[in-house]
Amino acid sequence: MSIKAVIFDLGGVLVRTEDRAPRTKLGLRFGKSYAEMDRVVFNKSSYRASIGEITSREHWQFVMHSLDLPESEIESFYDQFFGGDVVDYEIIKTITALRPQYTTALLSNAWDDLRQLMVKKWKIESAFNQIFISAEIGIAKPDERIYKFTLEKLGIAPEEAVFVDDFIENIEAARVLGMHGIHFKEPDAAMRELRDLLKN
């Protein structure tokens, strides 16, 4: 079967932490390392938010409580924590250029505020024919059900899809179903692998 759709993850692929300084500086305020700050934010409530059990706002309330901070600091904390994150607009251009020959889609484990960020802050939603967010679906990668849901909505067979993600367990789960998988480690290498795959 020929490839009909290219599906991208967001965090770690299209949006990456290129500058660790803001998060490191934030950690110093609480006597925590960069990795420890990651664990404070990406905790159990983060997972619950990623499958829609709680809202992103409720997750941040849990984070503030764990650090003994008032809710009024959520926005400033958020801005500092993600201050080193950068959108890779070069990859966004590549995705846009794939259309209309290929269907393009986003499949992200994310909280319920992601779609708004894509539309209002980053303005990248137009690169995708369809956007699939775990919080809206109630299932997160690498659960095979979210891949099957995505393929069904796109109207394609697993062999007709390429999936790009930075977590190898998510790629392996996609490959088990028969999807083509590209493990994202570095932008140029991943895009080169994608181009080679689409040529065949």
What is the pTM for the complete model shown? 0.96
Amino acid letter for position 196: D
**Per-residue pLDDT reduced to its tens digit, 42-69:** 999 999 999 999 999 999 999 999 999 9
- Say which residues have a Cβ less than 8 Å from residue 86's Cβ, sequence separation at least 6: 15, 16, 17, 18, 19
Look at residue 1 in the predicted model and tell me its pLDDT. 74
- Say which residues have a Cβ less than 8 Å from residue 48's Cβ, sequence separation at least 6: 54, 59
| Mean pLDDT taken over the chain | 97
Read off the pLDDT of each residue in 4-24 and give the average, rounded to a whole number: 98
Task: Please report the domains of the chain, with CATH numbers, ordered by start residue.
Answer: 5-16+86-199 (3.40.50.1000), 19-81 (no CATH)
In the predicted structure, residue 26 carries a pLDDT above the cut 90: yes
CA distances from 127 to 29, 98, 180 (A): 38, 9, 21
